[in-house]
Amino acid sequence: MPSNTNTDKQIDNLEQASEADEKFIAFKKRMFRLGVFFLIVAIALSLPNYFFLETSNNILGVGIFSCVGLADIFILLPAIITKETNWLVLLGSTILCIVFLCLSVFYPFQDFQYRLKVISLVAIVATLLFVALNGWINAAFFPLKNADIRQSVDFASNRFAVDVLNVTLILGTLFGTIAFLYFYPGQDNSTFFGGIDIKNVALATAGLVTFFWAAKATKNKSIELEEKKQDGKRHDNEIAMVKRRDTAQLIAEASKLLSSESDAQKYAGLSFLNAVASDPEGPLREEAFNLIADFITGATDITTANKARLRAILYADQLVENNPHHFYIDGYIIISRTDCDEPDDDVNYLNEFEIKNLYVSYIGLAFGYGFIQRVVKPKSEYQFGFLNCIFYGANPGHPLPTIEKIATFDCHFRNCKIRYTYAPLYTLVENPITGKIKGKRIVPKKHLPDNNDSYNTFYECDFSDCLTWIYERLGVLKSERKVVFDKCYYYPKCEPKGFKEDDDEKLLTKITSEKQFNELMNDPMRMHYSPPDDKK
């Protein structure tokens, strides 16, 4: 599976960050321009209201107040918000604060026109002063054409402090006006301006200077913290790059070990790859899994004698189980018997494994009770395919193992309960990574018999409630074998689906008593009478 290098990811992140910065700056500029637009509208409405109209118009006054309020909001917020600020929350809280202050000032609506005029006028003048002051300071002290100055810490901290100072000035002016109107509702303008003396101006100036240096110090500290954070990220990236390089070397060594003739070296290579693929935070996980999958599907020896391949199948099954949306093997994995005429003893090695998630087709193997009971339990229909296999289900003292949801071709069942078996050549398999569904061949065509005689045979099997009886019965009609059902039976009221007693009574025996059951079986100790009423 393709993967990007860490350097490529860093470049992409830098480009994305640069684009995000540009978009954020453009957004702040749009907000500022929108505020200037509302300010111009407020001034345009104020001129006829103050100089041409003989009587004040409350609707016009509220309109002026609303426009200047919006102007203040959209001019001040760009100086406050950062990329980390939730500007919608800040905007909402600012509007609520202004609404609350307005209700406090105008309640109980005495001298409504007077208060509205004063606040609007002061707000317009303060906003104009803010825009002019901010523009002059930026032009005089912060030349944007000088890239070296723009990148310095002093530049960033001074600019932040000036923005904070300007915002403080305009907000202080507005809130001071609102406070005056709230505490002295019946006084004229002379009362307001008469309260201003040199002491108040000196104290305010000292407070603003102190506030400026406090804001500058705060910004410096935040810049230092951000630099430490970036240093930490660079250090983490360096560690990640080193880990990726070491992992790549480990995968290269593991791939060499897999091509060795020694099983011990193959085991070592598979262990390395499994460790890399199992690390949830590690790099090159997909590459390690793909090497394991290629080792499984590309092997020339697909028999049970290839123990290293069986170990790789076990690793792949566990990896798919733990990472179903990342790892996937496309198609069925073939496991066949060794090329000999004697019973395949190597199949006992499979009993140590329990394949749960891969799609596997077994060819020419013989399975005992333990394997059938524990392993032949597919998660999905036709997850496992069996060709020319033998199932021995007898186990004294235990119920017969149930066979269902598997694809079987030319298999022989002994002492099993047949619930559902079928032999489709293809089945639909969903890729959990892409979500696409494709048809996959269960058994390769080269392994099927030339005469297409792929029907199963049964010995001492229970067909009670079998759902695929009609298909199994075709074996009698199309198979060249003389005996397909040998000593097979079913219990009353549990006839197989589609079973016709008149036509099929010669194929299956209806068991009505334990005595009849024991007479049918050669070894009653190996099998036990188990009608439906006795089953738990």
Per-residue pLDDT of the chain in tens (536 residues, 90 and over written 9)? 334 444 344 445 445 556 766 777 788 788 888 888 887 887 787 777 666 665 556 677 777 777 877 777 777 777 667 666 666 776 676 666 666 666 655 555 556 666 666 667 667 777 777 777 666 666 666 555 444 444 565 666 666 666 666 666 666 666 666 656 555 555 555 555 555 554 554 555 556 556 656 666 666 666 666 777 777 777 777 777 877 787 888 888 888 888 888 888 998 999 889 888 888 877 888 888 999 999 999 888 888 888 899 889 989 998 998 888 888 888 899 998 876 555 444 455 555 567 888 899 998 888 888 888 877 778 888 889 999 889 988 888 788 899 988 899 889 999 999 998 888 888 888 887 787 888 888 888 887 776 556 788 899 999 999 998 988 887 777 666 667 898 999 998 899 998 988 888 889 999 988 888 888 887 766 778 888 765 44
Do 62 and 181 lie in one domain? The reply is yes
Q: Judge whether 518 lies within some domain.
A: yes
Q: Judge whether 469 lies within some domain.
A: yes
Beta strand residue intervals within 296-454, DSSP E: 333-336, 360-363, 366-367, 384-387, 390-392, 402-403, 406-409, 412-414, 417-418, 421-422, 426-430, 437-441
Give the domain CATH number at 317. Answer: 1.25.40
Q: Judge whether 78 lies within some domain.
A: yes
| Pairing state between β 426-430 and 421-422 | unpaired
Distance of CA 80 to CAs 156, 163, 170, Å?
A: 14, 8, 13
What pLDDT, on a 0 to 100 scale, did the predictor assign at position 5? 41
What pLDDT, on a 0 to 100 scale, did the predictor assign at position 305? 83
Q: Judge whether 228 lies within some domain.
A: yes
What pLDDT, on a 0 to 100 scale, did the predictor assign at position 462? 93
Do 143 and 170 lie in one domain? The reply is yes
Distance of CA 239 to CAs 2, 8, 12, 106, Å?
A: 22, 16, 19, 62
Do 227 and 166 lie in one domain? The reply is no
Contact 394, 369 (CB under 8 A): yes
d(CA 323, CA 316): 10
Q: Judge whether 220 lies within some domain.
A: yes
Do 364 and 463 lie in one domain? The reply is yes
Do 478 and 420 lie in one domain? The reply is yes
CA atoms within 13 Å, Cβ hemisphere of 130: 31
What pLDDT, on a 0 to 100 scale, did the predictor assign at position 496? 93
Q: Judge whether 7 lies within some domain.
A: no
CB atoms within 10 A of CB 150: 13
Do 410 and 344 lie in one domain? The reply is yes
Domain limit, last residue, from 132, 152, 185: 185
Q: Judge whether 365 lies within some domain.
A: yes
Q: Judge whether 412 lies within some domain.
A: yes
Do 317 and 341 lie in one domain? The reply is no
Do 77 and 176 lie in one domain? The reply is yes
What pLDDT, on a 0 to 100 scale, did the predictor assign at position 464? 92
End-to-end CA distance of the chain, in Å?
Answer: 49
Do 64 and 50 lie in one domain? The reply is yes
What pLDDT, on a 0 to 100 scale, did the predictor assign at position 42? 79
* Closest to 369 in 3D by CA, of 342, 404, 398, 405: 398
Domain limit, last residue, from 285, 300, 329: 329
Q: Domains in the chain: how many in total?
A: 3
d(CA 260, CA 63): 85
Tell me the residue range of the domain where 410 lies. Answer: 331-536
Rg, the chain, Cα only: 42
What pLDDT, on a 0 to 100 scale, did the predictor assign at position 244? 78
Do 36 and 154 lie in one domain? The reply is yes
Domain limit, last residue, from 185, 214, 249: 185
Do 325 and 335 lie in one domain? The reply is no
Do 259 and 363 lie in one domain? The reply is no
Strand partners of residue 418: 403
pTM: 0.58
Contact 320, 357 (CB under 8 A): yes
